[in-house]
Amino acid sequence: MRRPKPKSKKFKIQNRQAEVEEVELLESWIESGKPESGSNPLSLQPLPDKSPVGKLSNGSFSRYAGCENFSQLPLSKKTKDGLAAAKYKNMTDIQRASLPHSLCGRDILGAAKTGSGKTLAFVMPVLEKLYRARWGPEDGVGCIIMSPTRELASQLFEVLKSVGKFHGFSAGLLIGGRKDVDSEKEHVNDLNILVCTPGRLLQHMDETPNFDCSQLQVLVLDEADRILDVGFKKALNAIISQLPKHRQTLLFSATQTKSVQDLARLSLKDPEYLSVHEESETATPNRLQQTAMVVPLEQKLDMLWSFVKSHLNSRILVFLSSCKQVKFVFETFKKLRPGIPLKCLHGRMKQEKRLGIYSEFCEQRSVLFSTDVASRGLDFDKAVDWVVQMDCPEDVAAYIHRVGRTARYLSGGRSVLFLMPSEMKMLNKLEEKKIPIRCIKANAKRLQPVSGLLAALLVKYPNLQQLAQRAFITYLKSIHKQRDKEVFDVMKLPVDDFSASLGLPMTPKIRFLKQKVKGKTSEELSLVQEHTPVENLFEDHVESFGTGKFVEDKVEAEEDKGILLQKETQLGEKVTEIGGDVGLPATRVLKKKKLKINVHRPVGTRVVFDEEGNTLPPLAKLADVKSSSDLVQLDKDKVKQRFAELRTELKMADEEDKALDRKRRKEKRIKDKVKWKRGREDEETDTGNEEDVSAYDREETGDRVNKQVKIYFDSDSDDGERMIKDKKGVAADTLSLREQEELALKLLSSMHS
């Protein structure tokens, strides 16, 4: 391969001259187009002539305020080329609103719906600012872009690389979980742009010799409200204290902070608050169809399983509240082989694995079980079809970010939120924040119970039992720790039913809850929340939410073939598509599929499963039937029987333990008594030998011994002999008969005299 000819010196000088001229031109454009402080560029859109150089009617705003596409902005050729190469042409709302300001160097508080292009809105000003400042390798760190999660930081880094590929800046990704921190330390001082998470940046600030950010030009916080949240408070304060105050600061989020305290911490200078969708009817993307369902805690897994089985051709993102739950659901569902690849993502995974899973989910149609680590900012390459919130989000902001993983930019998407009866207040909160959500009900007939299968799995795989116990405890803890007590009440949870739904033979001990209820048993607890069937709950709910915003879709159960009951017209999807035959009860599915097996199955064919339990083509369908049939055939009776056996075994073991404990206590009591008796005898004969008495004995028996001694003297106080002993200090028993007679005579003579 021929190597490209090195550029001549003359070419380089010419090129540099052209750059200098371009920068001067850009600066003059920007200077002439600077908007007045406090102006709102949105109020002027669209401009009458849409000309990038046209004067505004009142002459007070940026002349770039009405631009529609990037070519109209005063951008360097390198940035324009980068944008063109990445096929970005027209600006989105937030880009149109913020770029005229941010390019002029003003501080920005940008808010816009999820998936609306906020990333470009801060990447471009970063490139332009450094370009116009003629930033070079020797100038060091010129810009820091911070994100709350590692995956998001990696994604931002990719966008920066693609749009800035014609620029000569050096950029680095600094995120935790990477082992090569030492090599990072060697190079970090040569980087111009850092894309990082707060923790790793602080680590470099603390540990890397000569790490210097004193020349910083731009600081960007993506998902700013999250980074300014308590979780990052200490790290962020420490970082900010090491940054120069004179800099440009850009904050972006779909749920932007307006807290004066937050802004003061960042020492923003007269920031421009740009909330482009504030006037919008909804706080979420228009193409997003949002639904909610009432699902009792003990039916959540059944519902999730049924949902996954009835959406085998979709890309589904499922949010759960803790790592332990993610692990449990992933591991058990994987063994049940739903017929679609399964993946999981949580903070306890190794970084390489996390990034691998993230990119696999971008490429492959699958179900990803995740904690909130995937809830913010991630822009999965191929559209996510469904976002399922198995556990209620902690607040409205968390809801907005979670559902925002679908329906991004121009694509559509759907979401479903499982709400327990005790969490219904969340719907009011969503409504208050302009989130249009429709209540739908589950098709109870299509529900595929999974707890029996889970119980069988737990018997077969003891490690799953541990996972289940941990998932159980952490879920309750997560509810207990939630700040919004109006929505989350751990006391209302049917704990025993929940435990059984995970396949556990007995409810694990819940220490923190026991303290809270002070002696209430778990049965009593479950009584707090009466068991109500889904349908009834839904009807209750419709009464209280029948204001028009929440629409109930009453569809005859007979008409529906899927797990979700929805009208065909409203979701633009055929009902059969939602459910298909996969939504049918297991036995009917088997009957149908068995027919197919008989026809198509080549004799002696092996069925191969991959690591995640997915069947490999061309026998995927066949194997699905086999796998599910295997499990269904795990003989429900057998499972029940084993379940009962396990219960009796545990009960017997419990009884044995109790008996042993009783015996031990009895023995100890006897031992103590014997010791105490001995102690008393010793006291009576020789009170001086205290060293033989243990501290415990002294504590427990000391008082009693003293009392006895005291009583002994009290009761014998009328005893003449004792009186004599007391007075003389000599025991009367020890005197001889002659001595006694002498003593008596002395006494008599003294009485007469």
Ligand X SMILES: Nc1ncnc2c1ncn2[C@@H]1O[C@H](COP(=O)(O)OP(=O)(O)OP(=O)(O)O)[C@@H](O)[C@H]1O
Binding site for ligand X (CB under 6 A): 88, 90-92, 95, 112, 114-120, 254, 377, 379, 404, 408-409
Question: Does 35 sit behind a cis peptide bond, omega within 30 degrees of 0 on the bond before it?
Answer: no
Strands 564-565 and 441-442: antiparallel
Residue type, 317: L
- Minimum separation from the CB atom of position 231 to ligand X (A): 18
The HSE-up count of residue 686 (CA atoms within 13 Å, CB side) is 6
Distance CA 329, CA 390 (A): 11
The CA-based diameter of the chain, rounded to the nearest angstrom, is: 147
- Minimum separation from the CB atom of position 353 to ligand X (A): 23
Q: Which is nearer to ligand X, 92 or 448 (CB)?
A: 92
CB–CB of 174/211 below 8 Å? no
Q: Which is nearer to ligand X, 409 or 512 (CB)?
A: 409
- Minimum separation from the CB atom of position 252 to ligand X (A): 7
- Minimum separation from the CB atom of position 296 to ligand X (A): 31
- Minimum separation from the CB atom of position 411 to ligand X (A): 9
Residues with Cβ within 8 Å of 68's Cβ and at least 6 positions away in sequence, in order, are 46, 50, 90, 91, 96
- Minimum separation from the CB atom of position 414 to ligand X (A): 17
Residue 110, Cβ neighbours under 10 Å: how many?
28
The arrangement of strands across the sheet holding 367-370 comes to 342-345, 367-370, 316-319, 386-389, 413-419, 288-294, 438-439
Q: Which is nearer to ligand X, 434 or 680 (CB)?
A: 434
Residue 559, Cβ neighbours under 10 Å: how many?
10
> In degrees to the nearest 10, what's the CA dihedral of 129, 132, 134, 140?
-10
Contacts 24+ apart (CB under 8 A), 262-270: 262/228, 263/109, 265/228, 265/236, 265/237, 265/240, 266/219, 266/221, 266/228, 266/240, 267/240, 268/107, 268/109, 269/107, 270/37, 270/38, 270/106, 270/107
- Minimum separation from the CB atom of position 489 to ligand X (A): 31
Residues with Cβ within 8 Å of 487's Cβ and at least 6 positions away in sequence, in order, are 392, 422, 423, 425, 426, 429
Residue 255, Cβ neighbours under 10 Å: how many?
22
Q: Which is nearer to ligand X, 112 or 146 (CB)?
A: 112
Q: Which is nearer to ligand X, 125 or 377 (CB)?
A: 377
Taken as a whole, the chain contains a residue count of: 753
Give the 3-state secondary structure of residue 567: coil
Q: Which is nearer to ligand X, 273 or 461 (CB)?
A: 273
Q: Which is nearer to ligand X, 113 or 438 (CB)?
A: 113
Residue 440, Cβ neighbours under 10 Å: how many?
22
Q: Which is nearer to ligand X, 409 or 713 (CB)?
A: 409
- Minimum separation from the CB atom of position 332 to ligand X (A): 30
- Minimum separation from the CB atom of position 102 to ligand X (A): 14
Residue type, 607: V
- Minimum separation from the CB atom of position 493 to ligand X (A): 32
Dihedral sign for Cα atoms in the order 691, 696, 699, 701: negative
- Minimum separation from the CB atom of position 378 to ligand X (A): 7
Residue type, 389: Q
Q: Which is nearer to ligand X, 140 or 148 (CB)?
A: 148
Residue type, 355: L
Distance CA 18, CA 446 (A): 69
Q: Which is nearer to ligand X, 83 or 639 (CB)?
A: 83
Q: Which is nearer to ligand X, 92 or 389 (CB)?
A: 92
Distance CA 56, CA 480 (A): 56
Residue 267, Cβ neighbours under 10 Å: how many?
13
- Minimum separation from the CB atom of position 250 to ligand X (A): 12
| Beta partners for residue 69, in sequence order | 90
Q: Which is nearer to ligand X, 33 or 117 (CB)?
A: 117
Distance CA 295, CA 444 (A): 11
Residue 548's nearest CA partner among 440, 442, 441, 437 is 437
Q: Which is nearer to ligand X, 343 or 402 (CB)?
A: 402
| Beta partners for residue 196, in sequence order | 146, 174
- Minimum separation from the CB atom of position 254 to ligand X (A): 4
Distance CA 127, CA 103 (A): 10
Q: Which is nearer to ligand X, 52 or 494 (CB)?
A: 52
Q: Which is nearer to ligand X, 219 or 442 (CB)?
A: 219
List C-alpha distances in Å: 121 to 184, 250, 335, 369, 456.
Answer: 28, 9, 44, 30, 52
- Minimum separation from the CB atom of position 123 to ligand X (A): 9
Distance CA 361, CA 497 (A): 33
Q: Which is nearer to ligand X, 204 or 408 (CB)?
A: 408
- Minimum separation from the CB atom of position 318 to ligand X (A): 18
- Minimum separation from the CB atom of position 86 to ligand X (A): 8
- Minimum separation from the CB atom of position 70 to ligand X (A): 7
> DSSP labels for 492-510?
GS-HHHHHHHTT-SSPPP-
- Minimum separation from the CB atom of position 83 to ligand X (A): 8
Q: Which is nearer to ligand X, 98 or 306 (CB)?
A: 98
Q: Which is nearer to ligand X, 12 or 382 (CB)?
A: 382
Distance CA 358, CA 346 (A): 11
The residue sitting closest to ligand X, measured at its beta carbon, is 117
Residue type, 76: S
Strands 413-419 and 288-294: parallel
